[in-house]
Chains A and B, each alone.
Chain A
Amino acid sequence: MKKNWWKILGAILVLYSTIAGLLLGVPRLPILHESIRNLYFHVPMWFAMIVMFSISIFYSVKSLSTQSQDDDLRAVESVNVGVLFGILGLLTGMIWAKFAWGEFWSFDPKQNFSAISMLLYFAYLVLRNAIDEEQKRAKISAIYNIFAFPMMIVLIFVLPRLKDSLHPGNGGNPGFNMYDLDSRMRMVFYPACLGWILIGYWVYTIRYRISALVYKQQ
């Protein structure tokens, strides 16, 4: 129980944010109306993804210096979970876009750039598949990860600010203030982010343990 309290906390937070997100009141904003509730589901996905990719780059850098297979496993499993959250983020965004903007994919810059960041990490996974030898694979994928991570940061944070976008809260800021978050929304939003990050981390630890066991069996 002592070691796993955070897992239960994550589960409770996600459950709370889902129920409260759909039931509690939200401010009335033009165009958005009730669909602002998407904020509780869509944005935490991206935060969880960023956290996962930060973990992966930490372990990639570590695996370059320690050459241990363990660090490499951690790096790749966190990329796997990060990619999952990225895809979920894109999907939740697309469903919301259908209601708010009229179509699933309106070639909004932020949408495009997040899709391209997903491509970056898909390329990472393809690269890993292309190399058979373990040590070499660990080293080369770590190098590509370190190369790709700043590119992703540039794509998701820097470039959208330079262009106009349909996303609420764009045309300048990265986004939260202009959502007109009032304290009701904050009460659900912050727990949602924390909850999803914890759940993502939990999935990552499980995947890591499985792959470590598989590796030991070989």
Chain B
Amino acid sequence: MQLAKQVKQLIKKEMILEWRNKYALNGVLLYVVSTVFVCYLSFISMPNKLTWNALFWIIMLFASINAVAKSFLQESKGRHLYIFTLVSPIALIIAKTIYNSVLMIGLTLIALLFYCMVFEPTVEIDIPMYLLAAALGSLSFATIFTMVSAIASKAGNGGMLMAILSFPVIIPVLIVLIKLAKNAIDGLDRSVSLDDIGLLLVINAMVMGVSLILFPYLWRD
């Protein structure tokens, strides 16, 4: 099918570009490592599990904004026009979202690993559940920030605008996510969190749907 082929090609192109200069990967990893290190210097040890959770999500939030913002902002005008003539806008937004999601999930897992090495998680943590929360969280960040980055890229001085636009939109997601992560940390029974997981999935689906509908309008420029 035409659309699926285009999507696959676009994802491949993004991955090859990224692997060549590893700009986003290295940038975000460096950011995460330095933040965790600064926190280690200030906290030394972190007995409080609420702080552990909160800090992890703060770091991931800003790491995601940095990582995903580049996806649209670094395309030069010429390349933009070139892609415009080749593929349909829906294929482009799907490809970018999938690529950003994969990138974010990978980065989150690496960051979580490093974070756990420096600050031990609590004993009763439900690891698969926490991994699920982390994956869902990075997926939500990726979908929302991809769309916001597309909007901000059209507006001119992208970087700051991206942060202003994305912050209010990401708050409901953050609230549900932190609640879900906290349930995982407390080692609560899994059925308690089903509502939150459902809500996150619904928000993701809604954002994806709205992006698919709106992106073609944004594209025609």
Binding site for B on A (CB under 8 A): 64, 113, 116-117, 119-120, 123, 126-127, 130-132, 136, 139-140, 142-144, 146-148, 150-151, 154-155, 159, 162
Contact = CB atoms under 8 A, between A and B. Distances in A.
Given A144-B165, A150-B206, A130 B172 contact: no
B156 A131 contact: yes
Among A116, A147, A148, max chain B CB count under 10 A is at A147
Given A126-B161, A151-B168, A143 B175 contact: no
B161 A143 contact: no
Interface string B153-175: 01111000100110111011001
Is the contact region of chain A dominated by helix, strand, or loop, or is it mixed? Answer: helix
A116 to B, nearest CB: 5
Given A146-B210, A146-B214, A130 B157 contact: yes
B172 A127 contact: no
A154 B157 contact: no
Contacts of B151: 127, 140, 143-144, 147
A136 B210 CA distance: 19
Nearest to A148: B169
A147 B157 CA distance: 20
B165 A127 contact: yes
A148 B175 CA distance: 17
Contact of B168 (A116, A131, A136, A150): A116
B43 interface: no
B210 A130 contact: no
Contact of B171 (A116, A126, A127, A150): A116
Contacts of B210: 146-147, 150
Contact of B167 (A119, A140, A144, A147): A119
